[in-house]
A and B are shown apart, each in its own frame.
Chain A
Amino acid sequence: MNRSNCSPLRAAVTAVTILACCVSTPAFAQFGAFGDLVGKAKSVGKVGESFRKISEQEEIKMGGDLAALILGAAPLSRDSRTQAYVNRLGRWLALHSDRPDLPWKFGVIDSPDFNAFSMPGGYVLITKGLLDRMRDEAELAGVLSHEISHVVLRHHISALQRVLRNEGLSGMQQYFHPVGGGLGGQFATALMNAGRTMYTQGLNEGDEYEADRMGVVIAARSGYSPFGLVGVLQTLSDKAADPAYALDVKTHPDPVSRIQQLDAAMGTKLDAVPGVVENTPSFIELRTPPKAPAGVKKRPRKGK
């Protein structure tokens, strides 16, 4: 587009120039995106299709706020060893996706329930209840790769766009690029409400199948059995009545349909991927209970 024709941009640039002494340099760079979005929006007043075109930086900002929402429901585990391990595994998997350079952040939530969540921009949260129920590390790699796929394919953007399209465009712009004014707060409130809906209703069914198909390949590319995710789906196929799985069950297609969709896509293509494993020494060590600290002796049993 020809930015010089965009009068709101021009007015904004003028205003920023006048106030240059108290506006930080990055604010200038952000006006480019502002101009693009104003021009591309079908209606200047509404978010409309503009939401689909948000930049990577905007995805990251929004993803962080949505992660804060889930963490408002249950906090992170304080087990720093596990957090570090999950981040190294998660990043390794993400390096085998089409968006290896996002600032990927993985977190284990302190909840006994079974669930996994992801947010735009590279945030992935799994519950401790999920981690504890994995048969092996390939299952965990399958779950993380499924979530990574949602992020890579921008599935959340599609889900949120359906809800946010009628919000005010200027509010969205002020949310992403705050330069004073209060409309950004209104958009943030709408985004949090959209997030509550998305994380309790689920994504598009076809998007779940797509994340399954991509997830098994990311796991196999990274050296893990692509059948780990299949094992997780088999576990889920028996958990429709288990309260710990309730939200995961509600927000995903029927697990048997997911297995059948994967079967149709995989066939025997991933039967003989060389060198894939179910577990690594690191995972086995992580699962081994720590030994009693040195110097602490067991009390001898009576009678011996």
Chain B
Amino acid sequence: MAEAKVPKILCVALLLFTSAAVAAEAGFAIHAADLMDQPFIDATKTGSVVANEHVEIVQRQGAWVRVAAGGRTGWLRNLNVRMGTATLPDPKGGTNTSFLTTGSSGRTVTTGVKGLDEENIKNATPNAAELSTLSSLGATPDEAKALAASDKLTENQIDFLKKGKVK
């Protein structure tokens, strides 16, 4: 179908003129799903992706991301996309030790420079002066509301979510 034949150059042009467009990011579909022609649940299906299929994310729009996948394009659920490598980490494995030394930097995960790593915290002693500075910060509810009003933020009434069952 026509959607699938959109040349790459046109995708790039789309990117430039869409406010929610992002630099294309490499990702993967978490599970098999339909590609839709619009970012809506009841939109028309334009194709599909399989689990762990490589996708290029070209646009983010709320619950949806627009992707290019093997010459097809369409919208996928945002919650069906991950980055990372082609193989999923073992969900039971905790921190994936096989990844520890494969980063582009070649360093292991515990050698952060000038950072805030595990050793920094293990060796930390409380800094009362910094706590005093932190305590002097803070915003009153009125200050927070004033900023939200000037930024025209919309408040919504939404119930908290119950735990769901992962398929």
A112 to B116, CA, bound (A): 8
Cβ-based interface call for A166 (8 A): no
Q: Is the interface of B mostly helix, strand, loop or mixed?
A: loop
> How far in angstroms is the closest Cβ of chain B from A123?
7
With A68-B130, A254-B89 known as contacts, the answer to whether A209 contacts B156 (CB < 8 A) is no
Assembly CA distance A262 to B152 (angstroms): 28
In the bound complex, how far is the Cα of B148 from the Cα of A69, in angstroms?
Answer: 32
Specify which of A222, A230, A266, A271 is in contact with B148 (CB 8 Å cutoff): A222
A68 to B137, CA, bound (A): 14
A238 at the interface (CB under 8 A from B): yes
Q: How many residues of A contact B (CB 8 A)?
A: 96
Indicate whether A72 reaches chain B with its CB closer than 8 angstroms. Answer: yes
Q: Is the CB of A260 within 8 A of B30?
A: yes
A216 adjacent to chain B (CB < 8 Å):
yes
Q: B123 — which chain A residues lie within 8 A by C-beta?
A: 73
Pairwise interchain contact A261-B166, C-beta atoms closer than 8 A: yes
B45 is an interface residue with CB less than 8 A from chain A: no
A229-265 with Cβ < 8 A to chain B:
230-231, 234-235, 237-238, 240-244, 246-247, 249-250, 254-257, 259-265
Q: Report whether B91 and A112 are in contact in the complex, using a CB–CB cutoff of 8 Å.
A: no
Enumerate chain A residues within 8 angstroms of B111, measured Cβ to Cβ. Answer: 243
Chain A residues whose C-beta falls within 8 Å of the C-beta of B7 in the assembled complex: none
CA–CA, A255 and B85, complex, Å: 13
Q: Is B167 an interface residue (CB 8 A)?
A: yes
- Report if A192 contacts B (CB, 8 A): yes
Q: Which of B81, B82, B91, B150 contacts A282 (CB 8 A)?
A: B150
Query: Which one, A83, A113, A256, A277, contacts B89 given CB within 8 A?
Result: A256
Residues of A within 8 A of B161 (CB): 213-214, 216-217, 265-266, 269
Binds B, one of A26-34, A49-57, A97-105: A97-105
**Interface hits, A272-304 → B, CB 8 Å:** 273-278, 280-282
Output the least CB separation between B14 and chain A (Å): 18
Contact of A72 among B127, B160, B163 (CB under 8 A): B127
Question: Do A71 and B164 form a contact, CB below 8 Å, given A111-B115, A241-B99, A268-B63?
Answer: no
Bound Cα distance from A222 to B141, whole angstroms? 13
Tell me, yes or no, whether B22 is within 8 Å of chain A by CB: yes
- Chain A nearest CB, measured from B77 CB (Å): 8
Across the two chains, which residue of chain B brings its CB closest to A74? B116
Q: Known contacts being A249-B95, A265-B161, is A68 close to B80, with CB within 8 Å? A: no
Q: Across the interface, which residues of B come within 8 angstroms of A231, CB to CB?
A: 60, 78
User: Which A residues, 52 to 88, have Cβ-Cβ distances below 8 Å to chain B?
Assistant: 64-65, 67-76, 83-84, 87-88
Give min CB distance, A205 to chain B, whole Å: 9
In the complex, A135 has a CB within 8 A of chain B:
yes
Are A90 and B156 neighbours in the complex by a CB distance under 8 Å? no
Which residues of the other chain, A, contact B63 by a CB distance below 8 angstroms?
227, 268, 270-271
Q: Are B130 and A71 in contact (CB under 8 A)?
A: yes
Question: Provided the pairs A216-B161, A257-B91 are in contact, do residues A266 and B121 lie with their beta carbons within 8 angstroms?
Answer: no
> Judging by beta carbons under 8 Å apart, are B80 and A263 in contact?
yes
* Interface contacts beyond A72-B126, A259-B82: sample of 4 additional A-B pairs, CB < 8 Å, sorted by A: A71-B126, A88-B139, A105-B134, A261-B166
Q: 6 pairs across A/B with beta carbons < 8 Å?
A: A87-B139, A106-B138, A196-B122, A234-B27, A244-B112, A280-B152
List chain A positions with a Cβ less than 8 A from chain B.
64-65, 67-76, 83-84, 87-92, 95-96, 100, 103-107, 109, 111-113, 115, 123, 125, 127, 129, 135, 192, 196, 199-200, 209-210, 213-214, 216-217, 220-225, 227, 230-231, 234-235, 237-238, 240-244, 246-247, 249-250, 254-257, 259-271, 273-278, 280-282
The 10 closest A-B pairs by CB, nearest first: A264-B164, A275-B154, A223-B153, A241-B103, A238-B83, A71-B130, A280-B151, A246-B109, A68-B126, A113-B115
